[in-house]
Amino acid sequence: EAAYGGDLNSAVFTGWSVFLARHEFSAERTGVDLGGEWDFELALGLGEHAELAFQIADYDGPGGAVAPADRTKQWVVLSYKD
């Protein structure tokens, strides 16, 4: 897991951060491999109260007939705080 960030001198963006993590999944009782996932986020500050984030999750299942399907999902989050 790693995270970095900094300030931006821009008319629109006030700062940025990047987050990257790797997860390995296994069954609690049997220890069977359930695959792994990469998570990535790029967040941009919008003034003092708002943030725009782009997030990606990429899951790679272990294979096999009953294993969860591989999936990649992306989404955008706009946050506002007082």
Query: Please, how many CA atoms are within 13 Å of residue 16, restricted to the half-sphere of its CB?
Result: 9
6-65 pLDDT, tens per residue? Answer: 877 777 888 889 999 999 999 899 988 899 999 999 999 998 899 999 999 999 998 876
| Model confidence, pTM | 0.79
Q: What is residue 13's predicted lDDT score, i.e. its pLDDT?
A: 83
Contacts from 34-43 at CB under 8 Å and sequence distance 24+? 34/61, 34/62, 34/67, 34/68, 35/59, 35/60, 35/61, 35/62, 35/67, 35/68, 35/70, 36/60, 41/17, 42/16, 42/17, 42/18, 43/16, 43/17, 43/18, 43/19
Q: What is residue 53's predicted lDDT score, i.e. its pLDDT?
A: 97
Q: What is residue 8's predicted lDDT score, i.e. its pLDDT?
A: 74
